[in-house]
Each structure stands twice: as structure tokens, then as C-alpha cells.
Structure 1
Amino acid sequence: MSQDVDATGDSSSRTSKNDWLNLAIKTLIDDGIDEVKIQVMAKKLDVSRSSFYWFFKSLQDLHDQLLQNWLQNNTAPIIEHAMRPAPTINRAILNVFECWVDERLFDPKLDIAVRLWARREPAVRAVVHEADRRRIDAIKSMYLRYGYDDENAFIRARVLYYMQIGHYTLDPDETLDARVSHVPAYLLAFSGQEPGPQDIDIFDDFIARLNSSRSGPED
């Protein structure tokens, strides 16, 4: 397809689909779905409104892809981590904990923004409810693998999941180090079993690698 250049010299080559999508995500998080507008985003990207239609059929198409992006980035990692093999239930829970501390695996600000959007849009609410069900089912299946009965696994999965979503909603003034210091007690609460020293050491190593990746290479 040849490049489409409008009367002002604008063309689709000046932006990519990811430019539009990333700006829409940022706008959703910062300002809410009402500000995800074609004209407003075009101005921020310094392109014409018409260039939007190179990448999206309509504003609704963009909304649909925003939801798909949320599902891929915020739901798929939880399911994958809950399904990972582990020698003990506490180690399995720590696999899920990785999602709660690494925003590359779960973006809490995006999750909150989508939930606020869902309060106003029944179709979005249905997507969010289905995502919650899938996340809880994955965590429940994790418990079932370690011998918990169906009801016990279901309730423990709910407690673990609802606690974390509630933690993001309340947004307590708590550092990552403070949260990690409570991990042994969290594990006992979520599993009913005392964690071993090796469990804590393995998670501490993960946190150390995470902090190292955030700080980047030393000068």
C-alpha cells in the first residue's frame, strides 16, 4: 500500500499503531476513557485525525484493542504463573506473588483504570468479570494441585486474589521492602503452612534481580 499523505503533508509513516495504542493506554490511566479521543490524541502525536484510520477502524475498535491489551498484559501472566510447577504450595504462591511486585507482569494502574471504565460500560464490565473468573480459576487450580479440596481451594484463591486487588485499590503508603518483609506471614495465611527458609531465599533473590533491572547498569 502506498503512503497516504494529506494536504498538510501528514502521513501514516509519522506514527505507528503502537504510538496510538500506548498513548490511549496512558490517557486511560491518567484521565479516564472519556479523554481517549481521536482528535485529542492526534494533536498530542502531532498528526492529522485521518492518520488514526490507518490503524483502527473506529474509536470502538481502539477500545476493543485496549481491552485486549489489558487481557494480554494483566491476565495472561497471572494464569501462566499460577500454572507453573513448584515443589510446594508456598513456592507456587510465590510464583503468583511475582506478578504482584513486577509491573511488567501486572500493571496495577492499568487494572484500576479498566475497572473504573467497567463501572460505566456493561460490555466492558462483562470482560472484566470474565478476566477475574479466569484469574481466580487459575489460582484455585493451583491450590487443587497441592491437595486442597474444591471449596477450600476456591475460597483461598478468592482471598489471595481479592486481597491483592483491594491492596491496589486502597493504595497504601507502603514500600516494596515493607511488603516483602511480610511475605512469610502472607504465605502462612494463604496456605496454612509455614514457609521454609529456602522459599523466602528464592523470593528474595527474585526481588534482588527485579531491583537490579529497575536500577539498570551502573555507570
Structure 2
Amino acid sequence: MTGPSAVRNDRHPSPISKSTKDDWIAAAVDILILEGIDQVKIQVISKRLGVSRSSFYWFFKDIGELQDELLSYWLRRNTGPVIERAMRPAKNLTEAVCNVFECWINPSLFDSSLDTVVRFWARKDPNVRSIVEQADRQRIEALTHMFSRYGMKDGEAFIRARVLYFTQVGYFALEVRESLETRTKHLRNYLLAHMGSEPDESALEAYIRRIEGLKGRPA
């Protein structure tokens, strides 16, 4: 199936509707999270947007191109912040790990629902699985470098990075529901388990103050 002969425009509404490319991607993300990849269909999205199906082809060649956009969005949304936080300069390892921890509790930094549903998608599609595995490697590599910067040998840094990362991915997969206040009570022991040493008090207190405004949300 081919789209309109006009050159596609990513930033402006199509001439046959008021939708934009970002509108289609945002709607597709919502449907992916709520209903899974099988419902990410042109007809379903156009109905949600209240536009004609034909307007889809103003922005995308086919549904595969939209799926590629979804994966790119996921990588920017979830992998980018983890890597940035892992590589962010910090005074000590406690501060560095807390920088990463903030991704797990702040939904503006990491969308756990999106991460989970993309992993379900990967079970059905080998190409998606390859992208997910690459993203996992990139996240773990960044965490490994984080631990290495604070004096850990390569082998230990790698394993601690995996333990920290796999623990959190499992936390989301199990859909553990507890308040941020509850998790904060366990924070010192989480840090001890992941670092192998007592946390720095000033960094710990600074982190708790920083996330104070997030309390009451599910972690």
C-alpha cells in the first residue's frame, strides 16, 4: 500500500487531517502500553485520533515504519536517561548509584510500563528482541563503567552492574507495588547490597531530600 504522492512532513499536520506525526506516535505508545503490540494498528490509532486512516501515510510508509518509531521512542525514553545518570559525575559511589536509582522512581526519567510491554513484544519478534538485548547491554555497560570509576575491579564492577540492573528489571516485571516512602526506608540496605560498603551519609541525605516531592507515588 502506498501513501499520498505529496512529500511527507513530520512536523506539521497533514493536509487531510489535523494530526501530526507526534500525535500518531503518542497514540501508538498509549495503545502499546494498554493493549500490546497486536493492537497497534492503523485503524485503531486513527479511531483514537479521530482522523482518517489515509492520513497515516502522510507520515509513515507502512506500519513497520511506525513500529520502528516506537522502538526509537523507547530507546530515547528509557535507555538514554539510565546511561546519562550512570555517567553523570558524582562525588562518590553513593551519589552515583542514587543518581541511577532516581530513574526507577521518577516516571519522567523512566517509563516502567513501556519498558515491560516492549519486553513482551520482544518475545514475539526476534528483531525487537535483538534491539532490547542491545539496549540492556548498553545500560549494563554504563553501570559497569559507573562502578569502575569508583575503584572496583572490572569483574566486580560488571557483576554489581548486572545485579543492580536485573534486580530493578525484575522489580518491574513482578509488578511490586509499594510506596516511595516504603522503599526509602530500605534505601540504606539497598545501597549496601549494591555497593558492598556503607553509603555516604551526606549523599544519602541529599538524595532523600531530592526525591521528597515524589512521595505518595507508587515506586
CA separation of 1:11 and 1:145: change in aligned 2, threshold 3 A: same
Per the alignment, residue 11 of structure 2 pairs with none
Two-structure CA RMSD over aligned residues (Å)? 2.1
Per the alignment, residue 77 of structure 1 pairs with 81
1:103 counterpart SS class: coil
> Pairwise mapping of residues 57-96 of structure 1 onto structure 2 (< 5 A)?
57-96=61-100
> Which residue of 2 is the match for residue 137 of structure 1?
141
Distance 1:3 1:145, change over 3 A: closer
Structure 1 residue runs of 5 or longer lacking an equivalent are 5-9, 215-219
TM-score between both structures, scaled by the size of structure 2: 0.90
Deviations 1:137-187 (A, max 9, x none): 000000110110111000000000000000001112311111111111011
Q: Which moved more, 1:66-75 or 1:187-196?
A: 187-196
Q: Which 5+ residue runs of structure 2 have no aligned equivalent?
A: 9-13
Deviations 1:71-110 (A, max 9, x none): 0010000000000111111111001001011111110000
Whichever residue aligns with residue 63 of structure 2, its letter is L
* Structure 1 residue ranges, 4+ long, deviating more than 6 angstroms after superposition: 1-4
Indicate the residue corresponding to 1:100 in structure 2.
104
Identity %: 49
Aligned counterparts of 2:48 and 2:170: Cα–Cα separation in 1 = 33
Query: Mapping of 1:35-54 within 5 angstroms?
Result: 35-54=39-58
Residues 12/76 of structure 1: CA separation in 2 closer, same or farther (3 Å cut): farther
How far apart are the structure 1 equivalents of 2:79 and 2:16? Answer: 31
- What residue number does 1:30 align with? 34
Contact 1:24 1:36 in 2 (8 A): yes
Deviation sequence 1:34-82 (CA, Å, 0-9, x none): 0000011111211111001111111000000000000001000000000
